[in-house]
Chains A and B, each alone.
Chain A
Amino acid sequence: MNRKHREPLIHLSKRKELAWQKEWGIRLLAIVIALIVCAVVTVIVTGIDPIGFYKTMVAGAFGTARRRWTLGKETAVLLCISLALTPAFRMRFWNLGGEGQILIGALATTACMILLGNKLPAPLLILIMVLAALAAGAVWAMLPALCKAKWNTNETLFTLMMNYVATQLCAYFIIVWEVPKGSGKIGIINQSTEAGWLPIIGNRYLLTILVVAILTIAMYIYLTYSKQGFEISVVGESEATARYVGIKVSKVIIRTLLISGAICGLTGFLLVSGTDHTLTTTLAGGKGFTAVMVAWLAKFNPLGMVLSSLLLVFLSQGSAEITSIYGLNQSFGDILTGIILFFIIGSEFFINYRLHFRKAAK
C-alpha cells in the first residue's frame, strides 16, 4: 500500500572505530575468500588441484633458505617505498611518482659509480652516492610539491607524468653509458673493482633489510610522536584547520615531499648499490604503484605496512612459483594479485561502514 515511504532494504552508516582484532579479522576473512576464489579460477583455467595450488604457493615463498631471503629482501624494498610514500599520503597528497623517484635516485647513484668510481676511497664514494640519490629523489618529488603548494596543481597527475620523464631520462643515460657499445645495457658496474658496492654483511640482502627495519621504526616515531608528524596529520585532515591553528600549509607540503622523495631515492640507491649493481628502466618494476596499495592497506601505519608488504610479496612470489611449476604464462600471477587486491579493497567497506538491514515487518 504505502510503497513510497518504505524503508530501504539496506541502510548504511559510518562506523566510528572498530576494535583492531575485528578490523584485521575482516581483512583476514577477505584474504581467505580471495584465496579460495583464486584457487577456483586457477582450477577452471588450468585444471590444477586446489590443494596443490596452496602448497605450491607456500613453497614458492618459504620453500628454501634462499627463497626466504629473497622474500625478506623484496619485502624490505617494497616496505621502503611504502614508507617513503606514507608521509605524503597522510597529508592526502597522492604521490604516485614513487616509480620515477626511485629511478632518478638510482640514476644518480649510477652516475656517481661510473664517474667517480675508483677515484675516491670507498666510504667517501658511498657517502656521496647516498647524498646524490637522496637529493635526486627529493628534487623529483619537490617539483610537483612546489606547484601544488603554489598553484594547487593536481599532484596525482603530475607525479604520474614524472615517472615517464624519469624512465626516459634513464633510458637516455643507459645508452650513453652502455657497455659494450650497441648492447643497450649498462651491464654490471665496476665488476672488477666493486667500487661503490655496498659491503656485504652476512649475505647480500641483510644490509638492505636492516636499513629498512631502522627506517620503519624511525618513520613510525616521526609520524606519531614528532611535531612535524602531527602537522602532517592536521593538514591531511583539513587544510583550513591547519591554516587556522597557524601551520604554514605550503611549507608542510614541500617539507613532507622532500622527505618522501628522498626516501624513494634511497630505495633506488639500495637497489643499485646494494643488490643489482646495474641500472635498467624496469628497475622499479611497478613497485612504486604496488607500494601505494601497501601503504593504503595498512591505513598508512608504518608498522602495519610490514604485514601488508609481506602479504603482497608472498602473493607475487607464490604465484610466480605456480606459473613456473605448471608451465603457465608469467602474467597469471598478476591476475591472482589483482583478484586478491579487489577483495581486500572491497573489505575496507565493511570496516568503515555498517549495514543495517530493514527489520522484517512485525
Chain B
Amino acid sequence: MLDLSLFIPRAVMQGMPLLYGSTGETISQKAGNLNLGIPGVMYVGAISGVIGAFLYERSVGGAVGMNPALTILIPMASCLFGALVMGLLYCFLTVTLRANQNVTGLAMTTFGIGFGNFFGGSLIKLTGADVPSITLSATSNTFRTQLPFANTTGVIGKVLFSYGFLAYLGIIISLIAAHVLSRTRTGLHLRAVGENPGTADAAGINTTKYKYLSTCIGCMIAGIGGLYYVMDYMNGVWSNDAFGDRGWLAIALVIFTIWKPDIGILASILFGGLYILYLFVPTGTNLAVKELYKMLPYVVTIVVLIITSMRNKRENQPPASLGLSYFREER
C-alpha cells in the first residue's frame, strides 16, 4: 500500500519546481507570450543560483563563516538575474523584433540547457571531484531550514511543515499571481493584452510594457523553480541534465490548470505525485510498466486540453492572441 506520509512530502517537493514554472509561464501566456523557453530559463535560473552559491561558499571558506542571510540572498539574486536576462532576451526578440515565439522559445531552451550543462560541467571540473556533480550542502542546509515544530507534530508536521521556505514562497507567489491576474486592474490590462493587443492598444494600454513585464517576471519566478530543485529537492547537488523534462511538464501544467495559478498549487502536487508514482507502485519484476506510469502526467494534460476545448467555455480557453506578435500597423 502507498504510505501517504512518505508519498505526499515527496510529491510536494517534486511538484514545487513545476508550480514555480507554471506560475511564471501562466503570467507570460496571459499577456499573449507562449514562452517555450521556460525549460531553458529554469536551467539558467538553477545554474546561476548554483554559481552564486558556489562562489560565496568558496570565498568564505566553508560552512563556518557563512552568514545565513547572505547564503540565501546571493544564490537568490544571481538566480533571479540569470532568469531576468533570459526573459529580456525573449522579449527583445519577440516583442521588439516581433520574431516568431515558438522558434524563439525553442532556441532559448536549446541555449538555456546548454548554458546550464556547460557551466555546471565547468564547475565540476573546477572542484576536481571524482563524481560528476557539485555539492553545496552548506547552502542547501540553510535553504532547507524547517519550521521548528515540523518534527514534533507527527504526521501532520511531516505533511504540512517539513519543507524549506521556498516551497511556501512558491505557494504565496501563486496566490498573489492568481489574485493580481483576476482581481486587479493591472491583471485586467494584462489579460486584455493577451486576448487582443489591438483593442488593448487602442484603449491606451502600453502593450509593449505589459508584455515585457509579464514575461520577465514570469521568467524570474520560473527561475526560482530551478533553484528550488537544486537547493531543496536535490539537497544542493547539481549534476548535468538532472532537471530533465520538468520544464515541459510545467508548461503542461499551465494547460492543466486552465491558466489559473491558484489551481496550480494542488495541481502541481498532483503532477509531482504522478511523476513519482512509479517509484511507489509495486510492480514486482515487471519494470516496463513503470515507464507507462511516467506517461500519466502528459496523458492527463492531453485529456484536459481536449475537454476544455470541447466544452468551449470562454473563460477556460487559452488567451486569444497566444503566440502571436503584435504590430500596430498591421491590419
- The A/B interface has a contact count, at CB < 8 Å, of 159
A361 at the A/B interface (Cβ < 8 Å)?
Answer: no
Candidates B110, B240, B295, B327; contact of A337 at CB < 8 Å: B110
Chain A positions 248-274 with a Cβ under 8 Å from a chain B Cβ: none
Q: Is the CB of A157 within 8 A of B113?
A: no
Convert A143-172 into 0s and 1s, putting 1 for each residue whose CB lies closer than 8 angstroms to a CB of B: 000010001111011101110110011011
Chain A residues, CB < 8 A from B301: 157, 161
Q: Is the CB of A175 within 8 A of B287?
A: yes
* A329-B118 contact, Cβ under 8 Å, with A12-B329, A296-B100, A338-B107: yes
Convert B288-331 into 0s and 1s, putting 1 for each residue whose CB lies closer than 8 angstroms to a CB of A: 11011011001101100110011010000010001100010110
Q: Is the CB of A164 within 8 A of B298?
A: yes
B230 at the A/B interface (Cβ < 8 Å)?
Answer: no
Q: Is the CB of A331 within 8 A of B118?
A: yes
Chain A residues, CB < 8 A from B240: 331
A192 at the A/B interface (Cβ < 8 Å)?
Answer: no
Q: Is the CB of B111 within 8 A of A96?
A: no
* A157-B103 contact, Cβ under 8 Å, with A164-B245, A335-B111: no
In the complex, A175→B251 CA distance in Å?
Answer: 28
Interface size range on B against A: 35 or more
Q: Is the CB of A286 within 8 A of B110?
A: yes
Interface on chain A toward B: helix, strand, loop, or mixed SS? helix
In the complex, A293→B37 CA distance in Å?
Answer: 14
Chain B positions 249-303 with a Cβ under 8 Å from a chain A Cβ: 251-252, 255, 287-289, 291-292, 294-295, 298-299, 301-302
A333 at the A/B interface (Cβ < 8 Å)?
Answer: yes
A348 at the A/B interface (Cβ < 8 Å)?
Answer: yes
Query: Among the listed stretches B8-16, B91-99, B173-181, B199-207, which one makes contact with chain A, having 4 or more residues with CB under 8 Å of it?
Result: B91-99
B302 nearest CB across to chain A (Å):
5
Q: Is the CB of A338 within 8 A of B99?
A: no
Chain B residues, CB < 8 A from A286: 110
Candidates B114, B299, B322; contact of A165 at CB < 8 Å: B299
B106 at the A/B interface (Cβ < 8 Å)?
Answer: yes
Interface on chain B toward A: helix, strand, loop, or mixed SS? helix
Chain B residues, CB < 8 A from A341: 103, 107, 110-111
A151 nearest CB across to chain B (Å):
4
B243 at the A/B interface (Cβ < 8 Å)?
Answer: no
A55 at the A/B interface (Cβ < 8 Å)?
Answer: no
Chain B residues, CB < 8 A from A328: 118
Q: Is the CB of B114 within 8 A of A333?
A: yes
Chain A residues, CB < 8 A from B322: 154
Chain A positions 275-297 with a Cβ under 8 Å from a chain B Cβ: 286, 289-290, 292-293, 296
In the complex, A331→B240 CA distance in Å?
Answer: 10
In the complex, A168→B290 CA distance in Å?
Answer: 9
Q: Is the CB of B291 within 8 A of A14?
A: no
Chain B residues, CB < 8 A from A94: 102, 323
Convert A219-259 into 0s and 1s, putting 1 for each residue whose CB lies closer than 8 angstroms to a CB of B: 00000000000000000000000000000000000000000
Q: Is the CB of A332 within 8 A of B104?
A: no
B81 at the A/B interface (Cβ < 8 Å)?
Answer: no
* A345-B100 contact, Cβ under 8 Å, with A14-B327, A165-B299, A335-B114: yes
Q: Is the CB of B93 within 8 A of A342?
A: yes
* A342-B107 contact, Cβ under 8 Å, with A162-B302, A168-B295, A334-B114: yes
Chain B residues, CB < 8 A from A334: 110-111, 113-115, 117-118
In the complex, A349→B98 CA distance in Å?
Answer: 7
Minimal Cβ-Cβ distance residue in A for B308: A153
A155 nearest CB across to chain B (Å):
10
In the complex, A52→B74 CA distance in Å?
Answer: 37
Chain B residues, CB < 8 A from A164: 245, 248, 295, 298
Candidates A14, A156, A165; contact of B330 at CB < 8 Å: A14
Can you list 21 A-B pairs, Cβ within 8 angstroms, ordered by A?
A: A151-B310, A152-B309, A153-B305, A164-B298, A168-B298, A289-B106, A289-B110, A290-B106, A292-B106, A293-B107, A296-B103, A329-B125, A331-B240, A334-B114, A334-B118, A337-B110, A338-B110, A339-B111, A342-B89, A342-B111, A345-B99
Closest 7 CB pairs of A and B: A334-B114, A338-B111, A329-B121, A331-B117, A349-B97, A175-B288, A168-B295
Residues of A within 8 A of B (CB): 12-14, 94, 96, 147, 151-154, 156-158, 160-162, 164-165, 168-169, 171-173, 175-176, 286, 289-290, 292-293, 296, 328-335, 337-339, 341-342, 345-346, 348-349, 352-353
